[in-house]
């Protein structure tokens, strides 16, 4: 019986690995062990509650005002000690976080093969997103198995010299998680929002906003917040709902610019647990975000996305027309938000496109590829 170790640190990683964790724990053909570094400490418990699982160990590595170098050192050392104790046959990491790269490096140092979930995403620009683009490239150099969500991701890996037989196009596990959560996300109220906004059948426009990218810290978030303020005044019948990330580099400009806004249609709320957030995504008219995962989830919910970045490692949604890059320029943001609020046909056009990121069977394909890998080694 082979033992898989799954390691994550952030809320998106936990969501995207949850279907794998649950499948492994229900399958007597596998052993599994689950570790979190606690990179999103306050947000992870929401995911554990939503999917009804807990990690086997929480390394609790976060420190106030930490540097990326300090975090990286603690992740490598903490994960290394855990791997020495658990002795897994393979380590699975997800995506492009500091935890994913450093856990892969710790596994490499222990000569433990690495499976990279959501492999092959690229923007071609090391500074956007930063440091995620470097993390995903470096993780690819260390991985044995590459679970690419799309053929575009597969082609990226092939161009970098990854052997074809080590790449498996699986779809994205975020769609597996979304399908699992959608059946549970029958939320009738969110404490910080008027009940009328969540009522079924209402046609009041709702713009859902999320933002956390490091490259937007400073001038980027200043511009984003000013654009939201102007649009809220310009469209008083629309509601702008912003679950504000806990990072102080995000909270400070948001609270300073939008916290005292006179407009009653701006709602700054605490970060939401996964199930209420899925419900809010379903309720939204469109979504304004710098997130990667939302670009994958929103098409399955029929929601257009304006991406507050200049590049994206998810070109499939861009090509399909479900998302549009708008950056953080104030004038562009006001223009694009206004365009979708004024023209329902534009929203409908973006919303009616099929999701290019999967069919909900990524977990099944990943475990089949792991099984085949071990069988090939023993033959």
| Arithmetic mean of pLDDT over the chain | 91
Look at residue 121 and tell me whether its pLDDT is greater than 70.
yes
Stretch 289-313: mean pLDDT: 89
- Asked if pLDDT for residue 41 goes beyond 80, the answer is no
Residue 23, pLDDT > 80, answer yes
Residue of 187 and 324 predicted with greater confidence = 324
Q: What integer pLDDT is reported at residue 288 of this predicted model? A: 96
The token pair that represents 307 in the structure block: 């991406």
Distance (Å, whole) CA 229 – CA 141:
44
pLDDT, position 202: 76
Pairing verdict, β 57-58 and 239-243: unpaired
Model pLDDT for residues 76-95, shown as the tens digit of each residue: 999 999 999 999 999 999 99
What is the rounded average pLDDT of the residues 15-37? 97
Residue 177 has pLDDT above 90, yes or no: yes
**pLDDT, mean of residues 325-346:** 94
**Which residues, listed in sequence order, are joined to residue 6 by a DSSP beta bridge?**
34, 92
Predicted confidence band of residue 186 (pLDDT cuts 50, 70, 90)? low
Q: Is the pLDDT of residue 178 over 70?
A: yes
Looking at mean pLDDT, say which of 151-165, 273-287, 304-318 comes out highest. Answer: 151-165
- Structural domains of the chain ordered from first start: 2-171+361-378 (3.40.50.2000), 195-351 (3.40.50.2000)
Percent of the chain with pLDDT over 70: 98
Question: Is residue 187 over pLDDT 70?
Answer: no
The CA distance from 296 to 177, in Å, is 11
Q: What is the largest CA-CA distance in the chain?
A: 69
Give, in order, the Cα–Cα distances in Å from 376 to each of 67, 163, 314, 371, 373: 42, 16, 32, 9, 5
pLDDT exceeds cutoff 70 at 359: yes
Q: Which pLDDT does position 149 carry in this prediction?
A: 96
Residue 143 confidence (pLDDT) above 90: yes
pLDDT value of position 188: 62
What DSSP string runs through 172-225?
-HHHHHHHHHHTT------TTS-HHHHSTT----EEEEE---GGGTTHHHHHHH
pLDDT, one tens digit per residue, over 242-287 is 998 878 888 888 888 898 766 789 999 998 888 888 889 988 999 9
Confidence class for position 182, pLDDT limits 50, 70, 90:
confident
The residues annotated as belonging to the active site are 96, 118, 132, 212, 214, 245
Question: pLDDT tens digits, residue range 209-219?
Answer: 998 777 778 88
């Amino acid at each position: 019986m082979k033992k898989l170790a799954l390691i994550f640190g952030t809320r998106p990683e936990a969501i995207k690995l949850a279907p794998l964790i649950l499948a492994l724990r229900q399958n007597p053909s596998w052993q599994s062990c689950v570790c979190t570094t606690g990179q999103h400490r306050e947000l992870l418990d929401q995911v554990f509650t939503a999917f009804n699982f807990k990690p086997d160990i929480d390394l609790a590595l976060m420190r106030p005002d930490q540097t990326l170098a300090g975090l990286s050192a603690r992740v490598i050392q903490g994960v290394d000690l855990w791997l020495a104790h658990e002795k897994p046959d393979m380590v699975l990491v997800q995506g492009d976080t500091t935890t994913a790269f450093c856990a892969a490096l710790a596994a490499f140092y222990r000569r433990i093969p690495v499976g990279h979930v959501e492999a092959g995403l690229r923007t071609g620009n090391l500074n956007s997103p930063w440091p995620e683009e470097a993390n995903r490239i470096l993780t690819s150099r260390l991985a044995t198995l590459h679970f690419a969500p799309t053929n575009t991701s597969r082609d990226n890996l092939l161009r970098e010299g990854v052997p074809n037989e080590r790449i498996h196009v699986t779809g994205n596990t975020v769609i597996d998680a979304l399908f699992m959560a959608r059946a549970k996300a029958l939320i009738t109220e969110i404490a910080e929002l008027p009940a009328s906004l969540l009522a079924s059948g209402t046609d009041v426009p709702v713009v859902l906003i999320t933002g956390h990218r490091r490259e937007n810290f400073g001038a980027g978030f200043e511009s984003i917040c000013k654009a939201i303020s102007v649009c809220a005044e310009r469209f008083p019948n629309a509601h702008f709902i912003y679950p504000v990330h806990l990072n102080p580099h995000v909270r400070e400009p948001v609270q300073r610019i939008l916290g005292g806004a006179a407009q009653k249609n701006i709602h700054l709320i605490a970060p939401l647990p996964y199930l209420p957030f899925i419900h809010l995504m379903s309720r939204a008219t469109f979504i304004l975000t710098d997130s990667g995962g939302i670009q994958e989830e929103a098409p399955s919910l029929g929601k257009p996305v304006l991406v507050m970045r200049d590049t994206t490692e998810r070109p499939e949604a861009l090509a399909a027309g479900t998302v549009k890059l708008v950056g953080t320029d104030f004038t562009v943001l006001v223009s694009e938000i206004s365009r979708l609020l004024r023209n329902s046909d534009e929203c409908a056009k973006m919303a009616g496109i099929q999701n290019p990121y999967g069919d909900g069977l990524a977990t099944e394909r990943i475990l089949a590829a792991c099984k085949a890998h071990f069988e090939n080694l023993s033959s």
